[in-house]
């Protein structure tokens, strides 16, 4: 009998045996850097002339791998192959589909530190962040496998005299999966295997900064025995093959996670009906955030500041869930600024592979320049308390930065920076703090530190965010525990890791027979 779902435990790196295992995994991965990887269509490995070269953001001269880059003819072949594979994959019983996921989870568990080591080197995640990414990928395999088994059971309908009535969930067909680089294993795994276990076949276009860890995922799904053509691995440029895939008439749905601009572009392309297209495409698009934590006057300020720091600077602020606005109520403002200044200055910025690094690099040159540009804007819009420096001579390092006295409508308080930059805003009252928190186009995560019951209840009702957290950090949603997805321009609220997720990739059929 299948065990009930339980979240994968995180690794305790304060233990020396675990440190040793992680160091060994890093050495093993380092001995494999610079290799070439194919794209995979219908189980066939295809090497192309053109490559996507992936670099270590902690040391940008180090090549992680060279991955074959698809062009439009290969994209066409991938879609046709997925359409062909759908004819047999949809006939595979849901329980059997789920077993591929359980097997893949078991393989990931065995390769846990190695997978995390790839992300330390390719994405610049520190050990704990990489470990959490691997654990979440395992969780998503285990969770969606069980959810599919659950959805395959007879669904409740009201009994009607003289008739048998049933409702069953059927897959759509071919989907395109477009994940981001910032959770290069967890989000890639979840957005792919959710639709797949629901009976769809997919073309997976990984993010160009992290194609090697994406290839490791493909390797694991193949080792788990997934039939050829169910997942087709197609690295390539978003502009060149992304648009082509989204517009393709055989594609039934797009499962995208990434920035607001690309998400809205995909949404508008997918809304146009291509010649020969026989359905309305479904777009699931999870996008950016400009998340706020409110620190109320009545609360433990030390705990609050610690939670804000973890939320703002974990993975260098490169999480859609990251806290990028801190709103402090009334007299708490000065003591919060003092604590922030002292503690943020103590964070260790450096290469992700060094044990003890708090803040690793940002992902690439373009991100580095964009974030440094926002820091420049911040110098005009606020008062720099800590940080503000960057160094891209070896890797893309930006020191954790705090701006105080920022106006709620300032650019650094409205636009997603996606880096280690926090804007601190003062509010006179708790009501004003809630109004400021809601005053952005995003609505992904939010947080409140308060001991005031009436304030917490007000925030429950009025703080408009898909994932709201009280007296804890606003990052690190756990699969099954805090289904993840936002409001407004943060996306379609698909709730990854939640019980509704798989239904987004299925259509319900009601069958009625009168006897």
Ligand X SMILES: N[C@@H](CCC=O)C(=O)O
Ligand Y SMILES: NC(=O)c1ccc[n+]([C@@H]2O[C@H](COP(=O)([O-])OP(=O)(O)OC[C@H]3O[C@@H](n4cnc5c(N)ncnc54)[C@H](O)[C@@H]3O)[C@@H](O)[C@H]2O)c1
Instruction: Pick what 476 binds: ligand Y, ligand X, none; C-beta below 5 to 8 Å, kind-dependent.
Output: ligand X
Q: Is 209 in the site for ligand X (CB under 6 A)?
A: no
- Residues making contact with ligand Y (CB under 6 A): 178-183, 187, 205, 207-208, 238-239, 242-243, 246, 257-259, 262, 265-266, 286-289, 320, 416, 418, 444, 486, 490-491
Q: Which range, of 31-39, 71-79, 85-93, 475-483, touches ligand X by CB under 6 A?
A: 475-483
Per CB under 6 A, the list member of 374, 418, 484, 505 interacting with ligand X is: 484
CA 411/CA 413 separation, integer angstroms:
5
Instruction: Pick what 258 binds: ligand Y, ligand X, none; C-beta below 5 to 8 Å, kind-dependent.
Output: ligand Y
Instruction: Pick what 420 binds: ligand X, ligand Y, none; C-beta below 5 to 8 Å, kind-dependent.
Output: none
User: Nearer to ligand X by C-beta: 56 or 321?
Assistant: 321
Q: Which range, of 164-172, 195-203, 396-404, 469-477, touches ligand X by CB under 6 A?
A: 469-477
Per CB under 6 A, the list member of 55, 143, 183, 396 interacting with ligand X is: 183
Give the distance from CA 443 to its chain's centroid: 16
Instruction: Pick what 475 binds: ligand Y, ligand X, none; C-beta below 5 to 8 Å, kind-dependent.
Output: ligand X
Q: Which of 190, 129, 64 is nearest to 420 (CA)?
A: 129
User: Nearer to ligand Y by C-beta: 232 or 257?
Assistant: 257
Tokens of 493: 């609220």
Interacting positions 304-323 with ligand X (CB under 6 A): 319-321
Closest separation between CB of residue 145 and ligand X, Å?
19
Per CB under 6 A, the list member of 182, 200, 201, 210 interacting with ligand X is: 182
Residues in Cβ contact with 444 at an 8 Å cutoff, skipping those fewer than 6 apart: 288, 289, 290, 291, 320, 321, 465, 466, 467, 485, 486, 487, 490, 491
CA 476/CA 314 separation, integer angstroms:
10
CA 109/CA 112 separation, integer angstroms:
5
User: Nearer to ligand X by C-beta: 314 or 382?
Assistant: 314
Q: Is 492 in the site for ligand X (CB under 6 A)?
A: no
User: Nearer to ligand Y by C-beta: 138 or 496?
Assistant: 496
Category of 13 on φ-ψ map: left (φ > 0), alpha (ψ -120 to 50) or beta: alpha
Closest separation between CB of residue 25 and ligand Y, Å?
25
Q: With contact defined as beta carbons under 8 Å apart, do 198 and 107 qualify? A: no
Closest separation between CB of residue 285 and ligand Y, Å?
9
Q: With contact defined as beta carbons under 8 Å apart, do 395 and 60 qualify? A: yes
Q: Which range, of 97-105, 117-125, 222-230, 471-479, touches ligand X by CB under 6 A?
A: 471-479
CA 315/CA 361 separation, integer angstroms:
8
Q: Which of 277, 270, 37 is nearest to 176 (CA)?
A: 270
Closest separation between CB of residue 206 and ligand X, Å?
16
Q: Is 494 in the site for ligand X (CB under 6 A)?
A: no
CA 495/CA 492 separation, integer angstroms:
9
Tokens of 188: 């890639």
Give the distance from CA 256 to its chain's centroid: 10
Q: Which range, of 193-201, 290-298, 349-357, 472-480, touches ligand X by CB under 6 A?
A: 472-480
Q: Which range, of 266-274, 373-381, 448-456, 470-478, touches ligand X by CB under 6 A?
A: 470-478
Of these residues, 122, 136, 147, 286, which one is catalytic?
A: 286
User: Nearer to ligand Y by C-beta: 199 or 236?
Assistant: 236
CA 188/CA 122 separation, integer angstroms:
15
Starting at the earlier edge strand, list the strands of the sheet with 174-178.
44-46, 39-41, 231-233, 201-204, 174-178, 251-257, 282-286
Bridge partner list, 295? 328, 449
CA 335/CA 385 separation, integer angstroms:
13
Closest separation between CB of residue 264 and ligand X, Å?
18
Q: With contact defined as beta carbons under 8 Å apart, do 507 and 170 qualify? A: yes
Q: With contact defined as beta carbons under 8 Å apart, do 323 and 292 qualify? A: yes
Instruction: Pick what 477 binds: ligand X, ligand Y, none; C-beta below 5 to 8 Å, kind-dependent.
Output: ligand X
Tokens of 334: 């000065």
CA 480/CA 492 separation, integer angstroms:
18
Closest separation between CB of residue 243 and ligand Y, Å?
5
Q: 441 catalytic, yes or no?
A: no
Which phi and psi (to 5°) does residue 413 adopt? -100, 0
User: Nearer to ligand Y by C-beta: 243 or 405?
Assistant: 243
User: Nearer to ligand Y by C-beta: 181 or 396?
Assistant: 181
Closest separation between CB of residue 476 and ligand X, Å?
5
Q: In the complex, which residues of this chain contact ligand X (CB under 6 A)?
A: 182-183, 319-321, 475-477, 484
Residues involved in catalysis:
286
């Amino acid at each position: 009998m299948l065990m009930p779902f339980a979240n994968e435990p995180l690794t305790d790196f304060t233990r020396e045996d675990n440190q040793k295992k992680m160091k060994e995994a890093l050495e093993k991965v380092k001995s494999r850097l610079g290799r070439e990887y194919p794209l995979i269509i219908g189980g066939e490995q295809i090497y192309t002339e053109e490559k996507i070269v992936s670099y270590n953001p902690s040391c940008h001269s180090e090549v992680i791998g060279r991955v074959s880059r698809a062009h439009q003819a290969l994209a066409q072949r991938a879609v046709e192959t997925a359409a062909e594979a759908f004819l047999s994959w949809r006939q595979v019983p849901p329980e059997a589909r789920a077993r591929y996921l359980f097997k893949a989870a078991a393989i990931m568990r065995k390769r846990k530190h190695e997978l995390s080591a790839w992300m330390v080197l390719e994405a610049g995640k520190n050990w704990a962040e990489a470990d959490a990414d691997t654990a979440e990928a395992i969780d998503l395999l285990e969770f969606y496998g069980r959810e599919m088994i659950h959805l395959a059971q007879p669904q409740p309908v009201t009994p009607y005299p003289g008739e048998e009535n049933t409702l069953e969930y059927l897959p759509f067909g071919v989907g395109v999966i477009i994940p981001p680089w910032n959770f290069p294993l967890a989000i890639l795994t979840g957005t792919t295997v959710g639709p797949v276990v629901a009976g769809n076949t997919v073309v997976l276009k990984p993010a160009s900064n992290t194609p090697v860890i994406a290839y490791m995922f493909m390797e694991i799904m193949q080792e788990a025995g997934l039939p050829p053509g169910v997942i087709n691995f197609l690295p390539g440029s978003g502009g060149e093959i992304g648009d082509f895939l989204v517009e393709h008439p055989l594609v039934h749905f797009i499962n995208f996670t990434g920035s607001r601009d690309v998400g809205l572009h995909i949404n508008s392309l997918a809304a146009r009906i291509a010649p020969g297209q026989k359905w309305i495409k479904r777009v699931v698009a999870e996008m950016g955030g400009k998340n706020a934590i409110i620190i109320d006057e009545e609360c433990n300020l030390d705990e609050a500041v610690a939670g804000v720091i973890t939320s703002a600077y974990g993975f260098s602020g490169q999480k859609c869930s990251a806290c990028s606005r801190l709103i402090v109520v009334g007299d708490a403002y000065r003591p919060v600024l003092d604590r922030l200044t002292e503690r943020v200055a103590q964070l260790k910025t450096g290469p992700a592979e060094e044990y003890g690094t708090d803040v690793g690099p940002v992902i690439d040159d373009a991100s580095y320049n964009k974030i440094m540009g926002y820091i420049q804007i911040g110098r005009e819009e606020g008062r720099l308390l800590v940080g503000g420096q960057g160094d891209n001579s070896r890797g893309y390092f930006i020191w954790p930065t705090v701006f105080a006295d920022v106006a709620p409508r300032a650019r650094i308080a409205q636009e997603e920076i996606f880096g280690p930059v926090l804007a601190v805003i003062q509010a006179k009252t708790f009501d004003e703090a809630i109004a400021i928190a809601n005053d952005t186009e995003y609505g992904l995560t939010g947080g409140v530190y308060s001991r005031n019951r009436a304030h917490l209840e007000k925030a429950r009702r009025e703080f408009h965010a898909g994932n709201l957290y009280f007296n804890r950090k606003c990052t690190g949603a756990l699969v099954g525990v805090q289904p993840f997805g936002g409001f407004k321009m943060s996306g379609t609220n698909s709730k990854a890791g939640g019980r509704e997720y798989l239904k987004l990739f299925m259509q319900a059929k009601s069958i009625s027979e009168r006897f």
